[in-house]
C-alpha cells in the first residue's frame, strides 16, 4: 500500500519540498524522493574530483567509464585503482530562537577501477579499452538536531487537523487499532489511541488536541545514511589519435535509511508530561542506465567532448513505520493507568518504479604547451522535470506524481571548471562546480543553488599514481517539523550544512 509520511516529507535539507504538490496530491509527494536519489554533486577519482568534476573532454581515468566512456580510448596501458573517501557533514540549526550544531563522519569506497587496454587493429583504430568500475554516485549522510520552545502550537495540533481532514469517526478509529499488539492500521488511529486527539463533540470530526498547555519544548533528531552506487561496464575506442568514441551500461543500487524523532515536553501540562513521535524509512532499489560519448581532439592543444547518460530506471521498495510514545501525568483526568503508552502503525511495504533525469554534458579542454597542464570546463544539463514515479497498480497516482514533479522542479545546467598544473611528476589541481536552484518556487526564502570548491595534488610515475583531493560545500536548508492550516502557528528550523570530502586514489599500471 502507499505510504503516508509526515516528518520525512517536510525536510528541506537536501533541496526542499514541493509543499503545494504534496497537499494537492493528498499524500506524500514522491517527487522529493526522486530528486533526493537523482541529485549528484561530485564523484569519481581524486584526480577528477580535484578538477571540480569536469571530466567530459578528458580521458584516461576510470571515472570516464560512467561519465564519458569515450575517455577510455585514451588508455595506452591497463590500470587497477581504488579510491577511498571520508565524508564529513556538519549541520547547524536555528529553531524558535535556539541554536544547535551536530557533525557526523563516514568512510566509504568511492570508486574501484579495472581497465584493460588493447593495441589497435588496422590502420585507423589505434587503441581500445574495456573497463569495469564501481562508483558511489552520491551520499545521503546527514545528522542534525533542532530544539526550541514553541509558544504557538504542538505537533498534536497537526494530528488533529489530519484527523479532521480524514473525517473518520471514533468507532472506525477503534476498529483500526489492535490492543493486543499495540499497533494501528492508520496514523489517525494511532493519534487517537494515544489520547493525543479527541472529537470536539460527538464521535467524529472535527478533532482537537487533548493537551492544551503551552508553551511546549520541542526537540527533533533526524539522521540519514545510504547512497546510490553503480557497477559499470564500458568500452572506448581511439581512431587516429583524434576521435574517441565510447559506450557503457550501468547497474544502479539504491540504499537509503532515514530515522526521524520529534519530542515534546509540557512544562505546564495537565494530561501529559510529553510525548515522542517517530518515523523510520528504509529504501532499497536496483536499476540500469546507459551512457555514450565522444571526444574530438581539434589539435594538440584543444579537445572537445560530449556525453549522454540515459535516465536510470530503478525498481524501488520501501518499508515505513511510525510510532508514538506518551508520558501521561500521574492522576491526569484523561489517560487511564491501563492505557498503552507505546503505539506503532503497521509496517507498510510499498514498491514503485523510479525514473531519474536524463543527463547530457558538453565541454572543452585547453592544454598548455609542453604538457605543463590544462584548463577544462563543462556544462551539464539535468532534466529534473523528466523524473517519474509509477505504481504499476495505479496509473492515475503516477500521473498525479508526474504533474507534481513538473510543477515543482526546473531543468538545470550545472557548470564545472577545473585546472591542472604539472611540475615534473607532480600535479596540482583546483576546480569548482555551480549547481543552480532546481526549484520553481522558493521555500522559507531560501535559494538552493550550490557552489562546490575543490582542490588536490597528485604524483604519477611509470608504474603507479597517487592523487589526493578535497571537496568543500556549504548550503542553506530548512526543516519543517509539521504544517498547520494557519502558517502563523508553525515554523521551520533553518539549517546551514557544511560538507567536506577527503579523497585518495591509488593505482598501478600493468
Predicted TM-score (pTM) of the model is 0.92
89 assigned to some structural domain: yes
Neighbours of 347 (CB within 10 A): 12
340 assigned to some structural domain: no
What's the CATH code of the domain at 133?
2.40.160.60
Q: How far apart are alpha carbons 212 and 123 in whole angstroms?
A: 84
| Residue 276 to residues 28, 31, 51, 69, 184, Cα–Cα distance (Å) | 22, 28, 46, 50, 16
Q: Identify the band that residue 1 occupies on the pLDDT scale cut at 50, 70 and 90.
A: low
Q: Identify the band that residue 13 occupies on the pLDDT scale cut at 50, 70 and 90.
A: very low
Nearest to 292 by CA among 228, 229, 235, 367: 235
Give 378's contacts (C-beta < 8 A, 6+ positions apart).
Answer: 53, 54, 55, 56, 57, 361, 362, 363, 415, 416, 417
171, containing H or E segment: helix 170-175
Same domain, 301 and 164: no
CB 322 within 8 A of CB 187: yes
pLDDT tens-digit profile of 115-126?
A: 999 987 666 788
Nearest to 27 by CA among 320, 321, 395, 400: 400
473 assigned to some structural domain: yes
Q: How far apart are alpha carbons 355 and 38 in whole angstroms?
A: 9
Mean pLDDT, rounded, for 482-487: 96
Q: Provide the grid cell at 98.
A: 535556539
Instruction: Give the pLDDT of residue 294.
Output: 99
CB 354 within 8 A of CB 289: no
Mean pLDDT, rounded, for 362-378: 98
Same domain, 230 and 277: yes
Residue % of the chain over a pLDDT of 70: 94
CB 467 within 8 A of CB 456: yes
Estimate to the nearest angstrom the gap between the alpha carbon of 53 and the chain centroid.
18
158, containing H or E segment: helix 155-166
Instruction: Give the pLDDT of residue 6.
Output: 56
Domain end point (choices 185, 209, 233): 209
Same domain, 284 and 361: yes
Nearest to 399 by CA among 4, 31, 16, 23: 31
CB 464 within 8 A of CB 509: yes
Same domain, 171 and 120: no
Same domain, 244 and 167: no
Q: How far apart are alpha carbons 326 and 182 in whole angstroms?
A: 13
Q: How far apart are alpha carbons 102 and 88 in whole angstroms?
A: 11
Q: Provide the grid cell at 328.
A: 501521561
182 assigned to some structural domain: yes
Per-chain mean pLDDT for the chain: 94
CB 52 within 8 A of CB 433: yes
Q: How far apart are alpha carbons 317 and 391 in whole angstroms?
A: 11
Same domain, 21 and 73: yes
338 assigned to some structural domain: no
- Give me the phi and psi of 396, to 5 degrees please: -65, -40
Q: How far apart are alpha carbons 4 and 27 in whole angstroms?
A: 6
Same domain, 143 and 186: no
Instruction: Give the pLDDT of residue 445.
Output: 72
Mean pLDDT, rounded, for 289-309: 98
Q: Which residue has cell 584543444? A: 302
339 assigned to some structural domain: no
Same domain, 114 and 199: no
Q: Is 317 exposed, middle or buried (0-12, 13-18, 19+ CB in 10 A)?
A: middle
Same domain, 204 and 274: no
Q: How far apart are alpha carbons 214 and 469 in whole angstroms?
A: 51
pLDDT tens-digit profile of 324-356?
A: 999 999 999 999 999 999 999 999 999 999 999
Higher-confidence residue of 252 and 2: namely 252
Instruction: Give the pLDDT of residue 412.
Output: 98
CB 336 within 8 A of CB 311: no
Higher-confidence residue of 481 and 17: namely 481
Same domain, 378 and 464: yes
> Has residue 501 got a pLDDT over 50?
yes
Q: State whether the Cα torsion 184-189-191-196 is positive or negative.
A: negative
Domain end point (choices 167, 183, 209): 209
Nearest to 33 by CA among 288, 389, 334: 389
Secondary-structure breakdown of the chain: helix, strand, coil percentages, each rounded to the nearest 5: 15, 55, 30
Q: Which residue has cell 494537492? A: 24
The answer to whether the bond into 483 is cis (omega within 30° of 0) is: no
Q: How many domains does the chain have?
A: 2
Same domain, 273 and 190: no
Nearest to 323 by CA among 469, 471, 194: 194
Mean pLDDT, rounded, for 207-214: 97
HEC secondary structure over 331-348: CCCCCCCCCCCEEEECCE
Same domain, 439 and 461: yes
Q: How far apart are alpha carbons 191 and 201 in whole angstroms?
A: 17
Domain residues for the domain of 199 are 155-209
Amino acid at each position: 500500500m502507499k505510504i503516508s509520511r509526515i516528518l520525512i516529507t517536510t525536510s528541506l535539507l537536501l533541496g526542499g519540498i514541493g509543499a503545494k504538490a504534496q497537499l494537492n496530491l493528498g499524500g506524500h509527494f514522491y517527487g522529493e524522493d526522486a530528486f533526493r536519489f537523482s541529485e549528484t554533486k561530485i564523484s569519481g577519482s581524486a584526480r577528477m574530483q580535484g578538477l571540480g568534476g569536469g571530466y567530459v573532454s578528458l580521458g584516461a581515468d576510470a571515472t570516464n567509464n560512467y561519465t564519458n566512456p569515450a575517455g577510455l580510448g585514451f588508455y595506452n596501458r591497463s590500470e587497477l585503482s581504488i579510491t577511498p573517501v571520508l565524508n564529513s557533514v556538519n549541520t547547524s540549526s536555528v529553531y524558535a530562537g535556539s541554536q544547535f550544531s551536530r557533525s557526523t563522519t563516514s568512510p566509504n569506497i568511492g570508486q574501484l577501477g579495472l581497465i584493460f587496454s588493447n593495441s589497435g587493429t588496422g590502420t585507423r583504430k589505434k587503441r581500445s579499452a574495456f573497463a569495469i568500475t564501481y562508483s558511489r554516485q552520491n551520499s545521503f549522510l546527514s545528522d542534525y538536531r533542532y530544539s526550541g520552545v514553541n509558544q504557538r502550537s504542538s505537533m498534536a495540533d497537526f494530528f488533529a487537523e489530519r484527523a479532521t481532514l480524514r473525517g473518520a469517526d471514533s468507532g472506525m478509529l477503534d476498529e483500526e487499532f489492535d490492543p493486543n499488539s499495540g499497533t494501528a492500521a492508520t496514523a489517525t488511529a494511532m493519534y487517537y489511541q494515544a489520547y493525543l486527539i479527541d472529537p470536539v463533540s460527538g464521535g467524529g470530526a472535527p478533532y482537537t488536541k487533548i493537551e492544551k498547555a503551552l508553551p511546549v519544548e520541542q526537540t527533533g533528531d533526524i539522521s540519514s545514511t545510504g547512497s546510490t552506487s553503480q557497477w559499470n561496464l564500458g568500452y572506448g575506442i581511439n581512431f587516429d589519435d583524434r576521435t574517441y568514441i565510447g559506450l557503457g551500461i550501468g547497474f544502479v543500487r539504491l540504499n537509503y535509511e532515514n530515522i526521524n524523532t520529534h519530542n515534546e515536553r509540557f512544562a505546564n501540562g495537565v494530561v501529559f508530561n510529553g510525548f515522542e513521535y517517530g518515523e523510520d524509512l528504509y529504501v532499497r532499489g536496483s536499476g540500469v542506465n546507459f551512457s555514450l560519448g565522444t571526444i574530438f581532439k581539434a589539435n594538440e592543444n584543444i579537445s572537445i567532448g560530449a556525453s549522454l547518460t540515459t535516465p536510470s530506471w530503478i525498481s524501488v521498495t520501501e518499508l515505513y513505520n511510525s510510532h508514538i510514545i506518551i508520558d501521561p501525568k500521574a492522576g491526569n483526568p484523561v489517560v487511564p493507568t491501563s492505557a498503552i503508552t507505546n503505539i506503532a502503525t503497521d509496517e507498510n511495504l510499498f514498491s514503485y518504479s523510479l525514473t531519474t533525469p536524463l543527463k547530457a554534458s558538453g565541454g572543452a579542454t585547453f592544454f598548455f604547451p609542453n604538457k605543463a597542464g590544462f584548463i577544462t570546463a563543462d556544462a551539464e544539463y539535468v532534466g529534473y522535470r523528466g523524473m517519474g514515479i509509477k505504481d504499476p497498480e495505479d496509473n492515475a497516482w503516477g500521473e498525479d506524481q508526474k504533474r507534481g514533479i513538473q510543477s515543482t522542479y526546473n531543468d538545470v545546467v550545472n557548470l564545472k571548471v577545473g585546472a591542472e598544473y604539472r611540475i615534473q611528476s607532480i600535479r596540482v589541481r583546483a576546480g569548482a562546480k555551480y549547481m543552480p536552484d532546481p526549484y520553481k518556487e522558493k521555500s522559507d526564502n531560501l535559494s538552493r543553488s550550490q557552489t562546490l570548491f575543490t582542490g588536490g595534488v597528485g604524483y604519477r610515475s611509470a608504474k603507479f599514481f597517487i592523487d589526493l583531493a578535497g571537496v568543500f560545500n556549504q548550503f542553506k536548508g530548512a526543516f519543517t517539523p509539521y504544517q498547520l492550516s494557519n502558517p502563523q502557528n508553525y515554523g521551520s528550523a533553518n539549517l546551514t550544512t557544511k560538507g567536506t570530502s577527503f579523497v585518495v586514489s591509488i593505482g598501478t599500471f600493468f
